[in-house]
């Protein structure tokens, strides 16, 4: 497989995941972002902190330094910050995604087989990207699930609405936009 094609596709999938998370977060009033379904589950604040922190750690100086940076406090990402503002959380969120996409945009075909480390564990660049794609997708699913729960009846679906599959498929087959 052409590395450039794969990298373009994975980048597109990450943009889609980010878009899904953003559209989910936008449907929940910020006052509810700290709510958890139970004490051991994540809140939207937690997920934003964790994803932002993970991306900054993994993707800053991606090819030259370990993906678990010395200054990162991963455990703190799972504790909601008292008094955290939406602006501060979104700044971290934006910074993480920007770091990820900047790192991906600099990669060339020949980089994909290079070895990098995460927590001193060697991985090829391709393996590291696939690992993070799966990790981020899992958490974006959590964001969407929790946002849907917190938004309640005000939730607007992010995909084909229930009962709309046949009409959607017919539309795509007739040349309409697909997701």
Picking from 24, 11, 29, the residue whose alpha carbon sits closest to that of residue 139 is: 24
pTM: 0.91
Inside any domain, residue 77: yes
- Would you tell me how many other CB atoms lie within 10 Å of the CB of residue 157? 10
Q: What is the pLDDT of residues 133-154, one digit of tens each?
A: 999 999 999 999 999 999 999 9
Range of the domain at 54: 3-173
Token pair of 102 as six digits: 């900047």
Inside any domain, residue 120: yes
Q: What is the pLDDT of residues 46-73, one digit of tens each?
A: 999 999 999 999 999 999 999 999 999 9
Picking from 29, 150, 1, 124, the residue whose alpha carbon sits closest to that of residue 86 is: 29
Q: What is the Cα–Cα distance from 26 to 36, expressed in whole angstroms?
A: 17
Number of domains the chain is built from: 1
Inside any domain, residue 46: yes
Inside any domain, residue 178: no
Inside any domain, residue 128: yes
Inside any domain, residue 179: no
CATH number of the structural domain spanning residue 104: 1.20.120.450
């Amino acid at each position: 497989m052409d590395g450039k094609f794969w990298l373009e596709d994975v980048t597109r999938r990450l943009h889609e995941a980010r878009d899904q998370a953003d559209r989910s977060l936008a449907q929940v009033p910020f006052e509810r972002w700290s709510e958890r379904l139970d004490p051991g589950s994540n809140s939207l604040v937690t997920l934003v902190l964790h994803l932002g922190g993970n991306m900054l750690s993994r993707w800053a100086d991606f090819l030259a330094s370990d993906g678990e940076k010395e200054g990162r406090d991963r455990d703190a990402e799972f504790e909601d910050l008292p008094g955290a503002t939406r602006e501060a959380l979104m700044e971290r969120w934006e910074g993480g995604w920007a770091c990820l996409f900047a790192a991906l945009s600099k990669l060339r075909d020949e980089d994909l087989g290079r070895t990098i480390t995460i927590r001193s564990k060697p991985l090829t660049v391709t393996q590291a990207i696939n690992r993070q794609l799966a990790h981020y997708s899992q958490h974006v699913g959590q964001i969407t699930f929790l946002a849907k729960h917190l938004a309640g009846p005000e939730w607007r679906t992010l995909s084909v609405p229930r009962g709309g599959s046949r009409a959607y498929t017919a539309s795509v087959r007739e040349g309409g936009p697909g997701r």
